[in-house]
Structure 1
Amino acid sequence: MTEYPLDGTGSVPAADIATAWDRELPGVATSSIGVITPLWRVAKALADERRRTLHRLGVDPATLDLLSTLRRAGEPWTLTTRELAERCLVTAGAISQRVARAERDGLVTRTPSPVSRRAVAVTPTDRGHEVVERTVRGLLAHEEALVADLTAGERRALGDLLERLAGSVRNAGEPG
């Protein structure tokens, strides 16, 4: 029997996990283990890296999501809270909390929306622009280093395959 370190690094090769399940539950399909297990490991490692990097850069993920969504919207970098909730994939309550926290920190302003009397428009302040641009530059430089071992072609191919898999997973969750 092969011994593996118990250091939480996911040292057991996915193929060994599949082989063990083939032995323990003959006839059960195990080929997904070779895809899903490495993806889970990479996802966890990337989440940990992003959390550490954002901590080092002094920004929490929710604030970065809010500021990035506003910045990517293009000039005048203003969205309603409803648009923000939709684009950030969070509830109206969650976006309200994010906006209130960012406003308290001097990163955004809220004004009545010209689109609707009931809507609130959110715009980054000069400080908000500085924070998001500095953070995104630092984060993307770090993440570029994480994928540096892959060629441009490998990155495109992997990205395409992951997008396809993400679509498949999304569709599997839809009522049919």
Structure 2
Amino acid sequence: MDESPHPDQPEPQDAVDAIGAQWHTVRPELDVSPMGVFGRIHRISRAVTDAAEKTYARHGISSGEFDVLATLRRSGEPYTLSPRQLSATLMLTTGGMTGRLDKLERAGLLSRSPDPTDRRALQVTLTERGFELVEAAVVAGLETQHACLAGLDREETAVLTGLLRKLLAGLPG
């Protein structure tokens, strides 16, 4: 889809269309259609991230802290992983993970203990309080995400999901 406006096209419909129109004015030979895709993905990501942060803040945690708790929760009983497993799943450095774990442990939402199979390693376990919090926060987070998708019906959501999956699979790295 060409995002460049043509004389017979309607006025820009959103800020990303306006950016494309500006580029078309100054560099009409450029195909700026990728800007239409990635500009919208970026703006959607920022808006949904902001909405999620507000949702999780009502539960006393950040999105990053939610990610740690949710990773432990969805790992299944006994809701225990190593810091290395958490870092790999969340694509965080060990230093970044340590900071999150410290804060969540101080809040009583998880505990760290020696790994019984490796004296040099630790295990991170969701506490009962952490379990209860993540159970409530995941429901609230999904409600927020559903609200963000309210402009699409189920079929449109499924088509968008498939297209984004295809786009993601085709990206380098």
Fold-level similarity (TM above 0.5): yes
The TM-score with structure 2 as length reference comes to 0.84
Quote the offset at 1:168 in angstroms. 2.9
- Count residues in correspondence: 161
Q: Give the superposition deviation at 1:70.
A: 0.3
Does residue 30 (structure 1) correspond to residue 32 (structure 2)? The answer is yes
Equivalent residue for 2:135, pick from 133, 136, 148? 133
Hey, what does 1:46 align to over in structure 2? 48
* In structure 1, distance between residues paired with 2:38 and 2:125: 40
How far the C-alpha of 1:12 sits from its partner, in A, is: 4.3
In structure 2, C-alpha distance between the alignment counterparts of 1:30 and 1:76, rounded to whole Å: 50
Counterpart residue identity of residue 39, structure 2: T
Contact residue 59 and residue 135 of structure 1 kept, 8 A: no
Partner of 1:118: helix, strand, or coil?
strand
Aligned residue identity for 2:147: A
The aligned amino acid for 1:52 is: K
Correspondence for 1:15: 17
User: CA RMSD of the aligned region, Å?
Assistant: 1.7
TM-score (norm 1): 0.83
Kindly indicate whether the alpha-carbon contact (under 8 Å) linking 1:18 and 1:34 is maintained by their aligned counterparts in 2.
yes
1:71-108, Cα deviation, whole Å (9 max, x unpaired): 01011110011111111110111112211211111111
Aligned-pair identity (%):
35
What amino acid sits opposite 2:137 in the alignment?
Answer: T
Deviation at 1:13, TM superposition (A): 4.2
8 A Cα contact 1:64 1:132, kept in partner = yes
Query: What are the ranges of 5 or more consecutive residues in structure 2 without an aligned counterpart?
Result: 1-12
| Conservation of the 8 A alpha-carbon contact between 1:57 and 1:138 | no
Secondary structure at the residue paired with 1:102? helix
CA distance in 2, matches of 1:127, 1:57: 12
The answer for the alignment partner of 1:85 in structure 2 is 87
Q: What's the CA shift for 1:137?
A: 1.1
C-alpha distance in 1 between matches for 2:97 and 2:117: 19
Give the superposition deviation at 1:30.
0.9
2:151 alignment partner in structure 1 = 149
Q: Select the structure with the greater relative contact order (CA < 8 A; seq sep ≥ 6).
A: 2
Measured after TM superposition, the shift of residue 33 of structure 1 is 2.2
> Aligned runs of 1:115-130 on 2, under 5 Å?
115-130=117-132
